[in-house]
Structure 1
Amino acid sequence: MPKPVNHHARRQLIAQALWRVVDEQGWSKATMREVAREAGVSLGQLQHYFSSRAQMLAFGVECASEETARRVGEALEQLSQPPHPRDVLRAVLYEMLPLHPGARATSRMQAAYVLEAMHDGALAERVSEGMRGGRAMVEECIRDAVRIGHLPESTDVALETDLVLALTGLGPLLELNVIEPGAALAAIDRHLERLFDLRP
Structure 2
Amino acid sequence: MPKKVDPQERRTLIADALMRVAAEQGLEAVSLRHVAAEAGVSAGMVQHYFRTKDEMMAFALAVVRDRSQIRVTEAVARLGDNPSPRLLLRTMIAALLPLDEQTRSDGRVALAFLAYTAVRPAAAAGLREETAQLIAFIASVLPAPNANEAAAGLLALMEGLGVYLLGGQYTAEQALSALDAHLDMIFNSAAPG
TM-score, length basis structure 1:
0.87
Map 1:1-200 → 2, pairs under 5 A: 1-142=1-142, 151=143, 155-168=145-158, 169-197=160-188
- Displacement of 1:38: 1.1
CA RMSD after TM alignment: 1.7
Structure 1 spans left out of the alignment, 5+ residues: 143-150
- Are the aligned partners of 1:86 and 1:196 in contact in 2 as well (CA < 8 Å)? yes
- Displacement of 1:138: 2.0
- Are the aligned partners of 1:61 and 1:113 in contact in 2 as well (CA < 8 Å)? yes
Q: Distance in 2 between matches of 1:103 and 1:91?
A: 15
- Displacement of 1:96: 2.2
- Displacement of 1:74: 0.6
Structure 2 spans left out of the alignment, 5+ residues: none
TM-score, length basis structure 2:
0.90
Q: Distance in 2 between matches of 1:164 and 1:81?
A: 24
- Are the aligned partners of 2:72 and 2:92 in contact in 1 as well (CA < 8 Å)? yes
**How many residues matched?**
188
- Displacement of 1:113: 1.1
Amino acid at match of 2:48: H
Q: Distance in 2 between matches of 1:65 and 1:136?
A: 18
Q: Distance in 1 between matches of 2:163 and 2:149?
A: 23
Amino acid at match of 2:96: M
- Are the aligned partners of 2:135 and 2:148 in contact in 1 as well (CA < 8 Å)? no
Q: Distance in 1 between matches of 2:140 and 2:32?
A: 39
Give 4+ residue runs of structure 1 displaced > 3 Å after superposition: none
Question: How much identity, in percent, do the aligned residues show?
Answer: 35
